[in-house]
Structure 1
């Protein structure tokens, strides 16, 4: 397996820029998730790395070898890259074994033991080897597609939203099988997704793309807890954003006086909290009214309205939930993450701490 390094990558279609100088490094044996909304450039980046498209500027290096840019262009078939498309892309006229063996040298295509081992690697029984693709579930088809991609021991594996067409339960089982297979083989992998939870739970590092550029690259915990800006914060999870006034490492806000998770100059500031930090307190706290409860079984999202009229969301366990219309108090657990203040025009005054 090889490291992937993308430097200054740019691509436009006509007058429309799609990539605007992307720099990305994927260390050997790790998985990086490209996360972003539709149209942000993540699929174009994947296509250029795979060799299906050419950059206007910049380079792509695989294992220290330039495979795109700088006047060079290694054909896709010679890059040693495994590709798993969104729908699996299995050949309908071939059996499962035929699909898995497709990328192997001819002398190995009839090696049933090797094919059985590859199926086992992705969590499939060797008894499925003689079935046709249409006889498999969607999750099984995606696993076969991964086994096919891993069969020739590629330098890099690219996965283009491989779980998007699966239902929730099948999606989770398939995701786990894919992650286990990639880790077992020590594969270097890039996963394109628009699902935040999928990116955070699957990858060693997450690259958030926005308008053709890399907004932030970090490990999942850092990305969630210390986003570079509020746009990234809102994209990788639910965000509670408050205006406040910072003084001596604390901030006065509509949820009371809060501790700050990193140094911040005194003065107007915006702070980020996550909904799970908001606790419905039985004692001291800020008064609020419950506007709605979305029950998910294991937990629930509770919409609250503060006395100022501001609405915020809290996350709580699924037991003993308040009912809409009831009055509660809200306490904040943990520190808030500060960001530069929004323009003063139209910003409500922040009450002084009690």
Structure 2
């Protein structure tokens, strides 16, 4: 497998309306990178430029040590880039069997033998008995696995996946995601996944590239991205966030949740502080004298855990994440304490601090 290096990649579809504005991205050989961002941020356009379905206005794409787009001469055609592509809906040929789809791009000898098809079906966790079925006889998850097997069949140097799980229900999505991850890891493939699903990106990728308005704003491993986001927009996008007005003095933020230590060396003065909902701890007010008291505004129960909406006296509603047992009731008063430090960011440029970020 090969590395991928994108340098200064730019693309516009209309004059003065850039979709990508000079993206730099490096994907090490054998690694898995997720391109994460809201709809319209340029994720799929970046993937299409890498695949060779479109040509960039500026910048280069290098796969391994081979320049495939940009620079002198014309771009290398998509079919000659040695890149496997898994589209959003699988894109299987309806008139071919599973075996026919997987072997479509293989040499004639390998198509006749059939051993490569059986090997790939096993690799993606499918029974070899499915080889003679038509795509319409498969579930959505099975179709996506066949699409991955087809992409891996010619042993490409790079595999690109364009939101391959978006049409699947939650249970099937998780099952298919695990199968795809295992298959890619087994082959040592270099892979790039486009997604707007934060959980998908954080759980699957070695590194996550966050795009916003056609630019790469942060590239790092999933844990660092969640714990140390570049800014509050990134923080709110990659997970639920509690953002509060604060005054920082000597490394401590004084906010609606009391005095909270701040990471790093943020200077004294006004700030916006970021906490994650799982950092908030709830207890009986009588057992925590001096703690901030909030009223339970509502509880969203998810089984394994729950989101508790807390109404603070001077800061509106924020969220806490708790395990799914012994949950407080709406209207109940609880003491709120914070576990761990907060991150501090500069106040809004307008001088007005934002209200807390509460997910819909």
**Structures share a fold, TM > 0.5?**
yes
Aligned twin of 1:42: 43
Cα pair distance change 1:135/1:205, threshold 3 Å: same
> Matched residues in 2 for 1:344 and 1:33: separation?
34
Q: Number of residue pairs matched? A: 348
Higher mean C-alpha displacement, 205-214 vs 244-253: 244-253
- 1:320 pairs with one of 322, 326, 333: 326
Instruction: Write the distance in 2 (CA, Å) between the matches of 1:299 and 1:344.
Output: 37
Corresponding residue of 2:21: 20
Runs (4+) of structure 1 exceeding 3 A deviation are 343-348
Q: Which residue in 1 is equivalent to 2:187?
A: 185
Instruction: Tell me what 2:33 maps to.
Output: 32
TM-score normalized by structure 2? 0.95
**CA 1:344/1:114 → structure 2, altered by over 3 Å: closer, same or farther?**
closer
How far the C-alpha of 1:343 sits from its partner, in A, is 4.5
2:213 matched residue in structure 1: 211
Aligned to 2:68: 67
**1:351 alignment counterpart:** none
Q: 2:298 aligns with which of 282, 292, 297?
A: 292
SS at match of 2:112: coil
Hey, what does 1:139 align to over in structure 2?
A: 141
- 1:250 Cα offset (Å): 1.4
**For residues 126 and 259 of structure 1, do their structure 2 counterparts lie closer, same or farther at Cα, with a shift above 3 Å needed?**
same
Q: Counterparts in 2 of 1:203-282, with a 5 A limit?
A: 203-282=205-284
Per the alignment, in what secondary structure is the counterpart of residue 29 of structure 2? Answer: coil
Q: Deviations over 1:191-239 (max 9, x none)?
A: 0001011000011000000000001111000000000000000000111
For residues 309 and 275 of structure 1, the distance between their equivalents in structure 2, rounded to whole angstroms, comes to: 15
Is the alpha carbon distance of 1:259 and 1:90 closer, same or farther for their aligned partners in structure 2, counting shifts above 3 Å? same
Shift in Å, 1:71: 2.8
Where 2:310 maps in the other structure, the secondary structure is strand
| Partner Cα separation in structure 2 for residue 346 and residue 209 of structure 1 | 26
Gaps in structure 1 of 5+ consecutive residues: 349-354
User: Could you say if the C-alpha distance between residues 344 and 53 of structure 1 is closer, same or farther in structure 2, counting changes exceeding 3 Å?
Assistant: closer
Report the equivalent of 1:302: 308
Distance in 2 (alpha carbons) for counterparts of 1:65 and 1:326: 63
* RMSD across aligned positions (CA): 1.2
Q: Return the offset for 1:262.
A: 1.8
- Structure 2: distance between partners of 1:288 and 1:200: 31
Instruction: Select between 44-53 and 98-107 the one with higher mean Cα deviation.
Output: 98-107
- Offset, 1:111: 2.2
Report the more deviating stretch, 71-80 or 169-178. 71-80
Distance (whole Å) between structure 1 residues aligned to residue 86 and residue 131 of structure 2: 19
Q: TM-score, normalised by structure 1?
A: 0.96
Once the two structures are TM-superposed, the CA of residue 308 in structure 1 deviates from its matched residue by 1.0
Report the equivalent of 1:352: none
In structure 2, do the counterparts of structure 1 residues 329 and 231 end up closer, same or farther at CA, with 3 Å as the change threshold?
A: same
Using the alignment, how far apart are the partners of 1:33 and 1:343 within structure 2?
Answer: 31
For 2:160 and 2:349, the matched residues in 1 are separated by 42
SS in 2 for 1:109: helix
SS in 2 for 1:187: coil
- The CA deviation at 1:266 is 1.4
Deviation at 1:103, TM superposition (A): 1.5
